[in-house]
Copies of this chain bind each other. A is one copy, B any other.
Amino acid sequence: MTVTRTVLDRGWIRLEDMMGGDGAVVRGARICYQSEGTSPDADARLIRRLVSSRPAHNTVFEHAVFRFGVKCPLFVGRQWMRHRIGSYNERSLRYCLADREYYVPAGHPEQQEAYVRHMEASFDLYEQLVAAGWKREQARGVLGLAVYTEFIWTVNAWSLMNWLEKRLDRGAQWEHRQYAKAALDIFCEVMPITATAFKEAVLAR
């Protein structure tokens, strides 16, 4: 089941588990009308129609559910978790010692050395504070927003599509968009009819 995509310099997103898929959308729609699908083609047409009129039919997409694992910079994770329809569990820097891993943006050769030196210095200080008896939850105050975090995310297909729409937008932060692109890839692989309809009806607008 696990499908993994690497993202940025050290991040990734992977599908850890799922339930329902395209079939769950059909199940949700057919119970409303107590109709029966006559063929796979009829089901696919039904899904395409539901995606096109998406805002009016959100619940049918909520029976398809995914659990993703994600590793991303803190500033991406902070935006991500603002999406409230979904469940998150994140590695806690109150309890865990932070790993020395941080995102280095490409394309800024002149400042890159100073950037890396500063990030390393922040981990040096962090470790020194912890060694001196500071609580981890206070010592993390010196760690920058480029530090990597890990979390799991359980989300239904409706909420996933909302997130994709917002985070694939050209106005979204480039780093976040890379995760959205990778998630869209996975979505197309495991829920192909809905994902294709979504690309055509929503993203291509």
Where the two chains meet, the residues of A that have a C-beta atom closer than 8 Å to any C-beta of B are 16-20, 24, 27-29, 31-34, 55-56, 59-60, 62-63, 65, 67, 73-75, 78, 81-82, 84, 87-96, 102-103, 105, 108, 110-111, 114-115, 118-119, 121-122, 125, 128-129, 132, 134, 137-138, 140-146, 150-152, 154, 156, 162, 165-166, 169, 171, 173, 175
Roughly how many angstroms separate A132 CA and B134 CA in the complex, as a whole number?
A: 35
Chain B nearest CB: distance from A33 CB in Å? Answer: 5
Complex contact A89–B60 (CB within 8 A): yes
CB distance from A117 to the nearest CB of B (A): 9
Most buried by B among A17, A122, A125, A141: A141
Count copies of this chain in the complex: 4
- Given the interface pairs A81-B81, A154-B62, A154-B65, the reply to whether A33 lies near B92 with Cβ below 8 Å is yes
Q: How far is the CB of A180 from chain B (nearest CB, A)?
A: 14
Nearest-neighbour CB distance to chain B for A132, whole angstroms, equals 6
Bound: A108/B138 CA distance, A: 11
Q: Which of B27, B84, B102 contacts A152 (CB 8 A)?
A: B27
Residue numbers in B under 8 Å from A105 (CB-CB) = 134, 138, 141
| Max chain B C-beta neighbours (<10 A), residue from A125, A132, A175 | A125
